[in-house]
Structure 1
Amino acid sequence: MPARSLSAVPDDGGGGKSTPEQLMERVARADEPAFAELYDAFSARVFGLARRVVRDPSQAEDVAQEVFLEIWRRATRFDAKKGSATAWILTLTHARSVDRVRSAQAALERDTKVASRSTERDVDTVVETVESNIERTNVRRCLSTLTELQRESVGLAYYSGYTYAEVARVLGAPLPTIKTRLRDGLIRLRDCLGVNS
């Protein structure tokens, strides 16, 4: 597949178009035309990422709709100092897609358990839930120890499925810098989580 530019909206170089960050600023002020422009710029990428994660096209459409609803509601929380609008939108898309997959898996597991009238004790389920929550908390804590570039790079490469070259384009950083940040970030995560190499 040929590489394509990852810039969602052309820069406002006199052509009347706004950057994603400018659009987010306007959306935060409930500017509907800005939201429409943001939607036009990102809808295909949001749907594409959701489709890669959830696989089912109708589920991906639902996820995309939820993402844009959340962008509209949470635009005031976007902070350009913490990262690009593109990274924020794609991270949000990935998170909602994973939530949808987990929800579907949980529903399937519940149905399977009810159907088979499993003899598994409730205590085992509680222990698994507690362990899973502890793992998530530890990962979040360790991610917070990374630099912003490391955190964005890891998120895009390992949660959103971008290649290193795509991560470099999205973040506007040289490829060698991204590779170094990813390597350093993963080493830091490994050490923080106490994973043996």
Structure 2
Amino acid sequence: MAGGDSTALAALYDRYGRPAFSLARRICADEGIAEDVVQEVFLAVWRDPARFDPRRGAFGSWLMTLVHHKSVDAVRRESAVRRRTVPAGDDGDDRSAPAGPGADQAALGAVVAGQVRDALGALPDEQREALALAYFGGYTQREVAALIGVPLGTVKSRMFTGIQKLRGKLGPLFGDVPGDVTGGAR
């Protein structure tokens, strides 16, 4: 793809387009924005494929990291646009609704999301990568193993250990629930 080969780009898109879109849509919560993010990422990869350094990890992981960062940037950009275009206290609806339980839940959700993000950020790269590809990218453990180029057992171990660490950090937040840390059926 270094020579601007569009067939190589098409092959990459065929392999990574669906999981990239899935991740972008989960972060952006808007299909249109997610489509734009995926297009930007693949265009950036096509324009400058040398940005990928195989010594730092697998291509799929690197690509999903790009999608994640671009998605977060897009959400921040949209949020900033909304703040600038909607005056404080004006949501476009003339009716005034008191802040009720929905506002409390939204605030609590934001706090919890921040704590989960912090806990994920504290994990070693290998564990965070495996968990992100599986839970945010929609990959199976077998697909994660193929993407990052490690044995399936290694992926399972990284995910199990990562989940245990998350549980240790987030247990007080959610209440320590005994049982299967992988979330499987008992």
Normalising by structure 1, what TM-score?
0.57
Give the conservation status (yes or no) of the 8 Å contact 2:123–2:162. yes
Aligned to 1:145: 122
Which whole-Å CA distance do the structure 1 matches of 2:36 and 2:136 have between them?
A: 20
List alignment gaps of at least 5 residues for structure 1: 1-22, 24-30
Which whole-Å CA distance do the structure 2 matches of 1:191 and 1:36 have between them?
A: 46
Aligned to 1:66: 40
The more displaced of 175-184 and 50-59 is 50-59
The count of residues paired between Structure 1 and Structure 2 equals 160
Aligned to 2:169: 192
- Identity over aligned residues, as a percent? 36
TM-fit CA distance, 1:191: 0.8
Greater relative CO, 1 or 2 (CA 8 Å, sep 6+):
2
TM-fit CA distance, 1:135: 3.6
TM-fit CA distance, 1:184: 0.9
Question: Map of 1:3-14 to 2, 5 A cutoff?
Answer: none
Give the conservation status (yes or no) of the 8 Å contact 1:91–1:160. no
Which whole-Å CA distance do the structure 2 matches of 1:64 and 1:154 have between them?
A: 21
List alignment gaps of at least 5 residues for structure 2: 178-186
Q: Deviations over 1:25-52 (max 9, x none)?
A: xxxxxx6x25756623322244323554
TM-fit CA distance, 1:168: 1.1
Which whole-Å CA distance do the structure 1 matches of 2:64 and 2:162 have between them?
A: 20
Which whole-Å CA distance do the structure 2 matches of 1:59 and 1:176 have between them?
A: 36
CA RMSD of aligned residues (A): 4.3
Normalising by structure 2, what TM-score?
0.60
Q: Deviations over 1:146-187 (max 9, x none)?
A: 222211110110110000110111122111221121111111
